[in-house]
Amino acid sequence: MAKAATVGTQLPAPDVNDLVRVTVGDEDDDDGGPPALASEVASRVEDRASDRKSGAPLAYLIAAPWFAGDTEEPPVGTACTLQWPTERGLCVLPVAFQAEENGEAGLRMWRVAVTGPVRRHERRRFVRAAWSLPAELFVRRDLEALPAERRHAVERAGIRSKLAELPDCYPATAVNVSEGGLLCVSAAPAMPAALPLVARFTIEQTCFETPASVVWSVQRDAATADAAAVVESAIAFDDPGRYGEVLRPLVFQAQLRARRLDMR
């Protein structure tokens, strides 16, 4: 097995021939769940592109994971993760699907772009509740004001070049709420993954306004021929602890109300 390279925090990044497991959708986000095709499917690194100066990985070519029942590749930009064990524990690397390619002997391969730093696997679970409420998702254009790590991830995702085409705000409806983020529906088109936002919504006369980002955004087929297409998006708060103490009891109360209704 090839020796693992290191990135920034000295956590190891996978190298050519290393075995990894692939998850479609960022499974660390528990707010509405990813557009799951499958979870933790075995794969192998076939090639890697790295920054010449730092050695940090920029993109990977991996053996295409075979998901049960898959008939087509995921949409370009779909958030995924690579996972692999190290001496310092299970590590994950956020990536975005770019394209499917055919290699030697007909091997299916996925090209994925790195969208964030290597980190230890720390699964966070947030209490959440189905809740329909208006939300406004304001596009952040002040990329230089983002924390350095976040800004680098945004730059790697190519967000700067897309900003001119994006509206200032995406009106949306949150259909699932937790202290960690929102699951929203909005009009087409889909938002780019890693897009920095400011999410604004009101629950029981309390207005929440917090920095956030797009984990994934997928356009769903219209239910009927004359209906408009709908976009589903998972929005993660940059700092879940900012409003956690306020949001948590509200979400618990919503859960209790839903349970009472179910019992009637």
Q: Tokens 């001496």 correspond to what residue? A: 87
Residues 168-205: tens digit of each pLDDT: 999 999 999 988 899 999 998 889 988 999 999 999 88
Mean pLDDT to the nearest integer, 67-91: 74
Residues 75-84: tens digit of each pLDDT: 888 888 898 8
Mean pLDDT to the nearest integer, 7-18: 73
Pick the more confident residue, 218 or 261. 218
Q: What is the pTM of this model?
A: 0.55
Q: Is the pLDDT of residue 235 over 90?
A: yes
Q: Is the pLDDT of residue 70 over 70?
A: no
Amino acid at 127: V
Per-residue three-class SS string for the chain:
CCCCEEECCCEEECCCCCEEEEEECCCCCCCCCCCCCCCCEEEEEEEEEECCCCCCEEEEEEECCCCCCCCCCCCCCCEEEEEEEECCEEEEEEEEEEEEEECHHHCEEEEEEECCCCEECCCCCCCEEEEEEEEEEEECCCHHHCCHHHHHHHHHCCHHHHHHHCCCEEEEEEEEEECCEEEEEEECCCCCCCCEEEEEEEECCEEEEEEEEEEEEEEECCCCCCCCCEEEEEEEECCCCCCHHHHHHHHHHHHHHHHHHHHC
Identify the CA nearest to 109 among candidates 37, 48, 28, 27. 48
In the prediction, which pLDDT does 29 show? 43
Residues 94-137: tens digit of each pLDDT: 999 999 988 777 788 999 999 988 887 655 556 678 889 999 99
11-15, 65-69, 167-171, 214-218: which is most confident = 167-171
In the prediction, which pLDDT does 239 show? 87
Q: Is the pLDDT of residue 5 over 70?
A: no
20-24, 188-192, 251-255: which is most confident = 188-192
In the prediction, which pLDDT does 83 show? 86
Pick the more confident residue, 2 or 169. 169
Residues 27-58: tens digit of each pLDDT: 444 443 333 334 467 889 999 999 888 888 99
Structural domains in the chain, sorted by start: 5-120 (2.30.110), 128-263 (2.40.10.220)
In the prediction, which pLDDT does 10 show? 61
Q: Chain-centre distance of CA 89, in angstroms?
A: 22
